[in-house]
Amino acid sequence: MSCEPTKKPVFQANLEVNGGEVELNNFVEEFISQSVTGMVNSLRGVGEIETLSLKISSKEQAG
């Protein structure tokens, strides 16, 4: 029986806001990567994640 910690997949995260790239430190990059991939991985029918793209846009407000 091994007591070695299991290796987690390493992901790279890039963040753009309004077309400009936001620089992320290692902690924030890992936090975003692990949070989003964890949520998506829990969805039914999602296999092993190699790449993941998420785009969030504001909705136009009704006048």
- Chain segment 19-54, per-residue pLDDT in tens: 999 999 999 999 999 999 999 999 999 999 999 999
Structural domain including 26 reads 12-37
In this structure, what token pair is assigned to residue 12? Answer: 């790279």
Q: Examine residue 24 and state whether it is found in any structural domain, yes or no.
A: yes
Q: Examine residue 6 and state whether it is found in any structural domain, yes or no.
A: no
Q: Examine residue 30 and state whether it is found in any structural domain, yes or no.
A: yes
Task: Count the domains in the chain.
Answer: 1
Torsional sign, CA 23, 17, 36, 46: negative
pLDDT at residue 1 is higher than 90: no
State how far the Cα of 45 lies from the Cα of 37, in Å rounded to an integer: 14
> Parallel, antiparallel, or unpaired: how do β-strands 20-22 and 15-17 relate?
antiparallel
Q: Examine residue 4 and state whether it is found in any structural domain, yes or no.
A: no
State how far the Cα of 52 lies from the Cα of 33, in Å rounded to an integer: 10
